[in-house]
Amino acid sequence: MNFEEKIIERLKRIEREVERLRVWERPAGGGGVTDHGALTGLSDNDHPQYLLTTGKAADSDKLDGVDSTGFATATHSHDHGALSGLADDDHTQYVKDAGTVTDNAIVRFNGTDGRTIQNSKVTIDDNGIIKDENSNPYGRPVFLTTPKTSTSWDGDAYSTTAKTKIDLSDVFGVPANVKAVLVRLTARDSGSSAGYCQLSLSPNNTADSVAVQAYLQGVANDVYVSANGIVPCDSGGDVYYQITASGTGTLDAFIEIWGYYL
């Protein structure tokens, strides 16, 4: 019994010593060695597998075995033609630009190789209007399903009349400054069988210059004759009419506008 008590007492003292060492003898505040180079068996640069942030050492400034002196520097040539094996035009799969061009110009090919583009005299402005080299808009047709008519030209009686302007905006409600109109002329004259009678439209004030004409000569009296066509307009977007009648107020005239060109 005395022996066993001594063994037990001895074990208790060992346990107390272990506890004392665990609580009181460990470094305070997580201390210990804080300098990497102070670690036993290590120096400050003892990890050659990493790149140094500054300086150079042994193999630590290499990427894939290439020393940093082999990397491109900020002063190396950036000229495409200076690249080994390449010329300034060594990408034949691309279309080449034309250099200086006109704003809004339509692109055209230069030559037949399908690579080089060039400037154009034709432009498309920011409103989608196509214009020629003098900035004049090309005519864009507007076709109507219901014609524009006028109470002055819906069967009214006319006598012979020299070239006279029709203001298309005022008389027919056509947009201002149109380039041409698509018209249908219809006319009859009570004395057409006996002589030359006609209703015509044109873009000018020149006598007998005709774009579209309803021609009545030799037609039986009071028989309607129609003519359809495009009449160019003058610079103000208007047209001129001319009438030859057999007598006073003998020609009945109709004008319908079925379209116009902007």
- What percent of the chain is predicted at pLDDT more than 70? 73
Q: CB-based contacts of 96: which residues, under 8 Å, 6+ apart?
A: 89, 115, 116, 117
Q: Are 111 and 201 within one domain?
A: no
User: Whole-angstrom Cα distance, residue 200 to residue 217?
Assistant: 13
Residues 240 and 188 in one domain: yes
125 found inside a domain: yes
Q: Is residue 203 part of a domain?
A: yes
- Counting every residue written for the chain, the total comes to 262
Express each pLDDT in 122-168 by its tens digit: 888 888 777 777 777 776 789 999 999 999 999 999 999 999 999 99
Alpha carbon of 164 to those of 110, 160, 199: distances in Å? Answer: 49, 11, 12
pLDDT recorded at residue 238: 97
Structural domain boundaries, residue 207:
141-261
Q: Report whether pLDDT(244) > 90.
A: yes
Distance, CA of 189 to CA of 217 (rounded, Å): 10
Q: Is 51 a domain residue?
A: no
Stated pTM of the model: 0.54
Query: How many structural domains compose the chain?
Result: 2
Give the domain-ending residue among 99, 114, 138: 138
pLDDT digits (tens, 9 = 90+) for 37-60: 666 666 666 776 666 665 555 555
| One domain for residues 126 and 182 | no
Give the pLDDT mean for 212-232.
Answer: 95
For tokens 């208007």, the residue is 238
CATH code for position 155 = 2.60.120
What Cα–Cα distance (Å) separates residue 86 from each residue in 23, 92, 94, 166? Answer: 74, 12, 15, 68
Domain boundary among 103, 138, 173: 138
pLDDT (tens digit, 9 = 90+) per residue, 22-33?
A: 766 555 555 566
Distance of CA 213 to the CA centre of its chain: 43
The alpha carbon of residue 136 and the mean position of all alpha carbons in its chain are separated, in whole angstroms, by 21
Alpha-carbon gap, residue 127 to 135, rounded angstroms: 13
Task: Indicate the average pLDDT of the chain.
Answer: 83
Residue 9 domain flag: no
Q: What is the pLDDT of residue 140?
A: 78
Which range, 3-7, 54-58, 185-189, is most confident?
185-189
